[in-house]
Structure 1
Amino acid sequence: MNQDTICALATANGIGAIGIIRVSGNQSIEIVNKVFQGKNLEKADSHTVHYGFIVDDEIQDSRIEIRNSENFNQQPTLNNPIDEVMVSVFRAPKTFTTENSVEISFHGSPHIAKKILEVLIKNGARMAKAGEFTMRAFLNGRIDLSQAESIADLIASENEASRKVALNQLKGGITNEISILRGDLLNFTSLIELELDFAEEDVEFADRTALKTLLKKTEEKLRSLIDSFQYGNAIKNGVDVAIIGKPNAGKSTLLNALLKEERAIVSDIAGTTRDTIEEVLHIKGTAFRFIDTAGIRETTDLIEEIGVKKAKEKIESAKILLYLYDETDSTPQEVINFIKEFYREDLKIILLHNKIDLQNGYFENEFDNALKSALFPDYTTQIIGISAKNKTGIEALKSELSEYIQNLETQENTIITNQRHYEALQRSLESVKKVEDAISGNISTELLAYELRYALEYLGEISGEFTNDEVLGNIFSKFCIGK
């Protein structure tokens, strides 16, 4: 357990009505008490709040019980006061870090915050590192590693779906799932290890048939959790949507229509967009990150060429591709060639037949029929007629984007949103499959035990039962200071 006492601003930087400074460590109450003019905090009960002043000099004289029933309106004699505050006292072990903790609520001035932190440090505390409060909660057994990560996810949640997922993980959702899997595997691993102790007697304690059944069940559960990551990643981080097409196809006009504001410059001059423009739009609770790109064409303009290269890079990272075409400036074969060049199974492509306002009504003309006959069913695409200029078809496009998320939804109660968890589950699945192969191949008990240990270790990485300082440092360094 850490012996030093840490402090940090827990609220956002900047001016606000109230700011809060957190202090945690065995000496936290004693240190704050040195600079608090009011009740003697060392005699205060846990989970109580006290009115007083933070002062710049250590208090040596007897304290004044400020604002009790007898002297509520009296002005106390103060030693270089910094601010009028409320101080909350929390005694171990019933605190977030399981250590003695204090929270100081002050008037939300950055200067006041700086002054209070200075006097706390002068009296024995030190500034906390990023995520150090949460790391102490983890190291002291208050929460596991996946719960610690869910705290960061909860703070960063930008929509209702991501909030619910993060809260479920904070309540131990994924930990409970993994604990059940590990518990069953651990029982069999213990029996396999026992067989190693009696290798000379050639006895079998672990029923191989029952182990196969368990492994199959474990494999199905792991695959289900892994499959939930695509949906979890979408609701947590949003979905990248690349808007692609030839110059003057109406890409910037479409972005403006989606955002309902003039975000991108619109011009009849081909090649206006040289760099990518990115904006986020929430559709039914999910963040879609729209990326307006340079028109794709052969060009001798060096700057435009860089823009075209960036556009192609965005296609590679996007999950959804909106390809705009204008039939007066394109041929079906050009669209078909483009789709064939960039198509991949994990990319949803939506073809947008733009400028239908120039066609006296639209749908299913020869141009689009030619696309359908050439692309379907080998390429999964959808064709929507729009007029980006008149905002026709925009709602149909939004519905199609929303349906993409609905198709990702899973029946799993626990949804994986963390890349580290996803990779650990994949490694666990590989190990489980190796154990299955080992049983089928009748390999030695020693090798079987070896593979089972790996499966357990990878599962344990998620909750933090197996980890190292480098992993912990990487995880908690991404937290804000004060959390």
Structure 2
Amino acid sequence: MLNNDAIVALATPSGAGAIAIIRISGQEAISIGNSVFKSIKNKDLRNQKTHTLHLGHIMDDTKTLDEVLVSIFKGPNSYTGENTIEISCHGSTYIQQQIIQLLLRKGCRMADAGEFTLRAFLNGKLDLSQAEAVADLISSDNEASHQIAMQQMRGGFSNEIAKLREELLNFASLIELELDFAEEDVEFADRTQFNELLNRIEFVLKRLIDSFAVGNVIKNGIPVAIVGEPNVGKSTLLNALLNEERAIVSDIAGTTRDTIEDELTIGGIGFRFIDTAGIRETQDVVESIGIKKTFEKIEQAQVVLYLSPLTPKGGTLDSENVKQVQLEIEKIKNQFPLKPLIIIGNKKDLYSNQQILNLQSQIPNILLISAKQNIGIDELKDQLLSFVNTGALRNNETIVTNTRHYDSLLKALDEISKVKYGIETNLSSDLMAIDIKEALYHFGMITGQVTNDELLGNIFANFCIGK
């Protein structure tokens, strides 16, 4: 699968800008670059040192296309491990296309999605989990997802897996040696030490598997559904959280008839807020569809904000309204028992101190806010953040965010459990060796020590062109 032909692509986002970078990689990359580059000091790029910059012009025969800066990176000391040059030109889309078309005529071909990073992997510059982290780093849109991607790209996750795999491989070799001397009934692999290793591997695997629950929401954002009856202030709350007029607000019940979504980063964690249609009995066909979507969004959400319709009137709260809210809360809890639920009372600025105490005694854990006056919004954000285990981030622990890695870890853990059972039941070494090989296979699938063209094609097809 490894090609060393010269590939070219735009390494910066498409469209006009101040500058653009065109990347070429391959055995002939520097020679091809030299054939279209005229240095202001008559330098030959082929004779220049690696990691140097050169000013000049890109020439199409006698026609000058642009004044550029060319960076030279000679393999293996480059991102791809191959000879690489990067042409920094002016950001006109016309100039970009003219230079790329010229390079194609000179012998380059257009790079496939992720082909530069694929070559880095195939040339041993990155392992597979690090290569996947490159894509995660590019798509990271908050501090937490950026931190996880950086740690994985630096090899934090793959180093942990590689160490476990190496120790297991050493014992596998001893087990295989026992099989070679089976007739002499000798034991090369100390079963006590082997069991201790398996316990340690099992502990690490379980920790990594458990981290996926946190890692997945950090990577993809935490969906939060804002639900309640019509006209209780759900859209006003969404606007207050986002600090902008995102949702239409009016005194007419049922104004929001479809779900409205927007994202907000709180403490480095991405939250996706979903303003839903008000829940009530209605004959309006369009509103009914909106209410149906509300329950679908609650099903998809990981946190539910229930905005109660309670409003103080005079000196007391309507007891019937309180009972209705209590029933509605129980209904949501029963229907979605595993979802964290935050109960919110709006219009706190209208409550007296005594009313607040009465309400808190009747509906424990209710959070009183005023969406219009921006009272209690920071407290709500803190409560949302408390649902995410950010301790692992602070401690710089390895967090799994990739579904493929998660699946391989589960399969590896299953095989390790089989090996442990084999030791406990004095299973023959040849049968244990099969399970050990399977565990090693799944470890290798994570780091890329075991790959196939289909797997690599699926992974790198999701990359952007030019990376």
- TM-score clears 0.5: yes
CA RMSD of aligned residues (A): 2.0
In the TM superposition, residue 125 of structure 1 has moved relative to its aligned partner by: 0.2
Q: 2:437 corresponds to which letter in structure 1?
A: R
SS at match of 1:405: coil
- The equivalent residue for 1:333 is 327
Question: Are 2:32 and 1:31 aligned?
Answer: yes
Distance 1:357 1:46, change over 3 A: closer
- The equivalent residue for 1:435 is 419
SS at match of 2:17: coil
SS at match of 1:228: helix
Structure 2: distance between partners of 1:219 and 1:263: 48
Structure 1: distance between partners of 2:78 and 2:446: 24
- The equivalent residue for 1:211 is 194
In the TM superposition, residue 99 of structure 1 has moved relative to its aligned partner by: 0.9
- The equivalent residue for 2:304 is 321
In the TM superposition, residue 302 of structure 1 has moved relative to its aligned partner by: 2.8
In the TM superposition, residue 333 of structure 1 has moved relative to its aligned partner by: 1.5
Structure 2: distance between partners of 1:81 and 1:407: 54
SS at match of 1:22: strand
Structure 1: distance between partners of 2:325 and 2:76: 71
Farther off after superposition, 108-117 or 395-404 = 395-404
In the TM superposition, residue 198 of structure 1 has moved relative to its aligned partner by: 2.7
Q: Do the aligned partners of 2:392 and 2:399 also contact (CA within 8 Å) in 1?
A: no
Q: Do the aligned partners of 2:392 and 2:398 also contact (CA within 8 Å) in 1?
A: no
Deviation string, structure 1 residues 268-306 (Cα, Å, up to 9, x no partner): 222221211111111122211111111223433332232
Structure 2: distance between partners of 1:323 and 1:264: 17
1:354-433 equivalences under 5 Å are: 354-361=346-353, 368-372=360-364, 382-406=365-389, 409=392, 411=395, 413-433=397-417
Distance 1:169 1:386, change over 3 A: same
- The equivalent residue for 1:352 is 344
Q: 1:350 corresponds to which letter in structure 2?
A: I
- The equivalent residue for 1:49 is 53
- The equivalent residue for 1:262 is 245
Deviation string, structure 1 residues 435-481 (Cα, Å, up to 9, x no partner): 11222233232221111111111111111111222221121111111
Question: Are 2:171 and 1:170 aligned?
Answer: no
Structure 2: distance between partners of 1:105 and 1:321: 49
In the TM superposition, residue 412 of structure 1 has moved relative to its aligned partner by: 5.7
In the TM superposition, residue 174 of structure 1 has moved relative to its aligned partner by: 0.8
Farther off after superposition, 276-285 or 115-124 = 276-285
Distance 1:318 1:362, change over 3 A: farther
- TM-score, length basis structure 1: 0.88
Structure 2: distance between partners of 1:331 and 1:151: 48
Structure 1: distance between partners of 2:97 and 2:18: 16
Question: Are 2:337 and 1:343 aligned?
Answer: yes
- The equivalent residue for 2:257 is 274
In the TM superposition, residue 363 of structure 1 has moved relative to its aligned partner by: 6.1
Q: Do the aligned partners of 1:362 and 1:385 also contact (CA within 8 Å) in 2?
A: no
Structure 1: distance between partners of 2:349 and 2:286: 32
SS at match of 1:7: strand
Structure 1: distance between partners of 2:193 and 2:427: 17
- The equivalent residue for 1:73 is none
Structure 1: distance between partners of 2:34 and 2:325: 78
In the TM superposition, residue 370 of structure 1 has moved relative to its aligned partner by: 4.3
Q: 2:454 corresponds to which letter in structure 1?
A: E
Q: Do the aligned partners of 1:48 and 1:90 also contact (CA within 8 Å) in 2?
A: yes
Deviation string, structure 1 residues 395-437 (Cα, Å, up to 9, x no partner): 2101111222356646463222222222221221122112112
Q: Do the aligned partners of 1:244 and 1:321 also contact (CA within 8 Å) in 2?
A: yes
Distance 1:28 1:362, change over 3 A: farther
Structure 2: distance between partners of 1:309 and 1:438: 52
Task: Give the count of matched residue pairs.
Answer: 451
For structure 1, the 5+ residue unaligned runs are: 58-78, 373-381
Question: Are 2:457 and 1:457 aligned?
Answer: no
Q: Say which of 55, 78, 97 aligns to 2:80.
A: 97
Distance 1:362 1:179, change over 3 A: farther
- The equivalent residue for 1:199 is 182
Distance 1:260 1:412, change over 3 A: closer
- The equivalent residue for 2:318 is none
- The equivalent residue for 2:317 is none
For structure 2, the 5+ residue unaligned runs are: 312-320
- The equivalent residue for 1:120 is 103
Q: 1:56 corresponds to which letter in structure 2?
A: D
Q: 2:54 corresponds to which letter in structure 1?
A: H
Question: Are 2:458 and 1:474 aligned?
Answer: yes
Q: Do the aligned partners of 1:230 and 1:408 also contact (CA within 8 Å) in 2?
A: no
Q: Do the aligned partners of 1:257 and 1:389 also contact (CA within 8 Å) in 2?
A: yes
Question: Are 2:288 and 1:296 aligned?
Answer: no
Q: Do the aligned partners of 2:228 and 2:309 also contact (CA within 8 Å) in 1?
A: no
SS at match of 2:263: strand
Q: 1:191 corresponds to which letter in structure 2?
A: L
Structure 2: distance between partners of 1:389 and 1:51: 58
